[in-house]
Amino acid sequence: MPRLVIKSQPPGDDTDGPSPKDVDAGASEHYVDAELYDYEYRRRRSDVRFYSAQANELLGEGGDVLEIACGSGRITTALLRAGHHVVGLDWSGPMLARAAARIAKLSRIKRARGSLIRADMRRFSLRHKFPLIVIAFNSFEHLYTRPEVEVFLANVRDHLAPGGHFIFDVQNPDLRWLCRDPHKRWARTKFTHPRNKRRYIYTTNHDYDPVSQIVIIRLYYQPLSDTGVPRGKEMMVKLSQRKFFPAELEALLVANGFRTEARYGDFDGDPLHADAENQVLVCTAS
């Protein structure tokens, strides 16, 4: 994803935080292997149900939806099946190709309701206003600085129809997780790659900078032999995310012309609380 400039301290300074190079890599590397991405998140369905239900409730039997950072089309296809007209926007070519393959499996009528656009989510102009704009699965966390958030929200507001809704989700920051030892490996899992059928062991660790509130997550994929012995070169993929705390996020929305109509701690509509994993926000332009 093309990036706005992030100013940092000189290399080697203990206060420099994550490097722009790491942030850039973390904005794209996790989305290169779209088939593996879908496999890893194949059980994630609660957000799909939530966004579909919101669209049905707000738009009725069919309406226009702009899905920013549509990725591999998990939510896009669900919205199309429900009868909505959907514009899916994303910067990742592999993810858009995966989304196109998903849409191609729908009926002709449902396929005709969808379109995909490759564009940076902070800099796009569609010359159309939508009654519903969504950005799902923590994609808002790829806005790493306050200027980026402000540019993005201004663009959303410009594309939002009068009385329209902007709905998105981010993680609720967990300081216990963020402050884990960055030298240890976590989430050790064995799996078979869906495409090449090779066995791997997956592990992860991360570095969190409390000043920028950016976490650089490292996802490791170590090939395994038939007997489960590590064999071959380990691959490391970066994922960078900016963490937003609840009061901070509310203030950013208000300062940029949005009013929060509802705020949940999960996709079942439960209230946001200290141990909630998610922040799910339903907003309108103020």
Residue pLDDT, tens place only, 105-139: 999 999 999 999 999 998 999 999 999 999 999 99
> Looking at the predicted structure, is the pLDDT value of residue 29 above 90?
yes
What is the band of 11 on the pLDDT scale with cuts at 50, 70, 90?
A: very low
Q: Which residues of 145-183 are buried (b: 16+ CB within 10 A; e: fewer)?
A: beebbebbbebbbebbeeebbbbbbbbbbeeeeeeeeee
Taking CA 47 as the corner, what is the angle to CA 28 and CA 150, rounded to the nearest 5 degrees? 55
Residues 124-180: tens digit of each pLDDT:
999 999 999 999 999 999 999 999 999 999 999 999 999 999 999 999 999 999 999
pTM for the model: 0.93
pLDDT in tens, 181-223: 999 999 999 999 999 999 999 999 999 999 999 999 999 999 9
Is the Cβ–Cβ distance between 197 and 223 less than 8 Å?
A: no
- Taking residues 13-29, report their average pLDDT: 86
Which residues are 271's β-sheet partners? 264
Per-residue pLDDT at 114: 98
34 closest CA partner among 116, 108, 110, 107: 116
The answer to whether residues 133 and 156 touch, using CB atoms and an 8 Å cutoff, is: yes
